[in-house]
Amino acid sequence: MTANLILPASLDRSEQWHEERRKGVTASEIAVILGLSPFESEFSLFWRKLGELPPIEDTDSMSLGRHLESWVADKFADDHPDLLLGMGGLYASAERPWQLATPDRLVRRFDAGREPIAAWEGKTSGSYDGWGLSGTDEIPVYYRAQALWQMDTIGVRRTYLSCLFLQSKQTRHYVIDYHDTDVEVMRLAALDFIDRLTKGVPPPVDGSQAARDALKHLNSHVEEGAKAVVPRDVGDEYRDACTAYRKAKQRKDAAENKVRDLAGSARIVLDPDGNRVCTRSIYEMPAHHREACVVDKLNPPRSKKDI
């Protein structure tokens, strides 16, 4: 193991923990920097690192994942009696102190001393998108980036990742091995991000909701009567995009009504070749969710394999 323990796992989510994380690039953040994370953007991460944005708000889903982590760890231990799991913590690479990792557990062999041989991560998921069969290394790309970064930080060559799928109540175990070329690309991206932080040069704004929320927070007040002039191409791009969006929405609404008319009360809608067009969901929103209502929507396939 080639890393230094900065803080023990018992201080997870403390103010000190957040402060130490802001000093470097963690495993969850490298996926953001690479543009792979569905949860945050490089733009919002930049301002969060500078303390201009608050920590990401905790959600019920995040809390449930942490709560179930111990159960998933016990399941891994039951299925791998030759391996021993020890608690993780916040670690910094001995060679690159800015490279940080917070593995959920460290993996040792009963007959191989105290030195860790791998990292372990516990996840929960509400869908199978991006996940392969148990025993493979087929996991969502942002989790793969996280695993590689942790291995590079703490100095091990393997990560075991276990995921509890909430729909089926089944657990799959995955094995991810170190990849030199991918890690080198990740290090360069992290150094470029740190250079931006040092110089105070934010990344380009992207179209993510995370970036939009960051901009709303950074500019949370409106000065009455104040005017801003944007470049002509930016103004034209926005106006053209709004027009295209409005026309696309009109087409989409018309097509949806045609499908609804032809589908009747069917839940699954197929084309003549048997390919899925959409599925229909009807459910009630409870009264505590702003206001009680019935949701009735069509859900198009999310990927080719869902067709």
The CATH number of whichever domain residue 103 belongs to comes to 3.90.320.10
pLDDT at 280: 93
pLDDT at 283: 78
Let me know whether 251 and 292 are in one domain.
no
**Residues 248 and 170 placed together within one structural domain of the fold:** no
Residue 244, domain member (yes or no): yes
**Domain span at 22:** 3-210
pLDDT, averaged per 10 consecutive residues of the chain (307 residues), comes to 91 88 94 94 96 86 90 97 95 96 95 88 94 96 97 97 95 98 98 97 94 93 91 94 95 96 95 94 67 67 65
Q: Would you call 187 exposed, middle or buried from its count of C-beta atoms within 10 A (0-12, 13-18, 19+)?
A: middle
> Residue 112: its pLDDT value, please?
72
Sheet holding 89-93, edge to edge: 3-8, 89-93, 100-101
Helix (H), strand (E) at residue 79: helix 60-79
Q: How many domains does the chain have?
A: 3
pLDDT value, residue 14:
87
Is residue 252 included in any domain, yes or no?
yes
Residue 305 has what pLDDT? 62
Asked if 241 and 193 sit in the same domain, the reply is no
Query: What 8-state DSSP symbol labels residue 298?
Result: E
Residues 49 and 75 reside in one and the same domain: yes
Same domain, 194 and 253: no
Q: Do 158 and 107 share a structural domain?
A: yes
Q: Interior CA angle at 257 toward 256 and 261, to 5°?
A: 120
Question: Residue for token digits 């087409």?
Answer: 251
Beta strands in the chain (DSSP E): 3-8, 83-87, 89-93, 100-101, 105-109, 118-125, 158-165, 170-177, 268-270, 276-285, 293-299
Residue 216 lies in a domain: no
Cβ count near 182 (within 10 Å):
15
> Do 237 and 132 share a structural domain?
no
Which residue, 146, 179, 210, sits at the end of a domain? 210
**Do 188 and 287 lie in a common domain?**
no
* Confidence (pLDDT) at 136: 97
Same domain, 174 and 303: no
**255 and 302 both lie in a single domain:** no
- pLDDT attached to residue 287: 58
157 and 48: one domain?
yes
Q: Which amino acid is at 180?
A: D
Question: What is d(CA 31, CA 147) in angstroms, rounded to the nearest whole number?
Answer: 10
What is the DSSP secondary structure assignment for residue 130, as one 8-state letter? T
CA distance 298 to 4: 51
What phi, psi does 255 have (nearest 5°)? -65, -40
The reported pLDDT for the residue numbered 13 is: 79
Which among 217, 214, 192 is positioned nearest to 43, based on CA atoms? 214
